[in-house]
């Protein structure tokens, strides 16, 4: 499925499409960062016990996924992953080019 058909779009429509996608991306990263603030204080036992009662497999998957999403948030905003993740040779804040298009949060 093609999202963009440049033959039928004006420059203003393309700018609006890109800008909205970037805003949505930034909002999703911010939501994941907030989830990380909560889940970083939880253990598998917290999620498998009452009142949540999820399986240990699902609890591990949720905690790992949110931690990795937080790493993406940090890479996006600072150019560096958390110290417990593989590091790049120098920071490159991926969000900088996007901020140039849609402005700061």
Question: What per-residue confidence (pLDDT) applies to 2?
Answer: 60
For the chain, what is the radius of gyration of the CA atoms?
A: 18
* Rounded Cα distance, 40 and 59, in Å: 12
| pLDDT of 1 | 46
Q: Which own/partner pairs from 86-93 qualify as long-range (CB within 8 Å, at least 24 positions apart)?
A: none
pLDDT category of residue 90 using cuts at 50, 70 and 90: confident
pLDDT of residue 3: 65
Read off the DSSP letter of residue 57.
H
All residues at 6 or more sequence positions from 46 whose CB lies less than 8 Å from its CB, including other chains: 52
pLDDT digits (tens, 9 = 90+) for 14-70: 899 899 999 999 999 999 999 999 999 999 999 999 999 999 999 999 999 999 999
What are the extents of the domains in the chain? Answer: 32-81
């Amino acid at each position: 499925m093609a999202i963009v058909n440049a033959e039928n779009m004006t420059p203003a429509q393309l700018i609006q499409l890109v800008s909205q996608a970037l805003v949505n991306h930034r909002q999703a990263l911010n939501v994941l960062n907030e989830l990380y603030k909560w889940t970083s204080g939880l253990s598998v036992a917290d999620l498998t016990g009452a009142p949540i009662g999820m399986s240990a497999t699902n609890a591990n998957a949720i905690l790992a996924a949110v931690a990795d999403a937080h790493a993406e948030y940090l890479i996006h905003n600072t150019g560096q992953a958390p110290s417990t993740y593989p590091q790049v040779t120098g920071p490159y804040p991926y969000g900088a080019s996007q901020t140039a298009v849609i402005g700061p949060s």
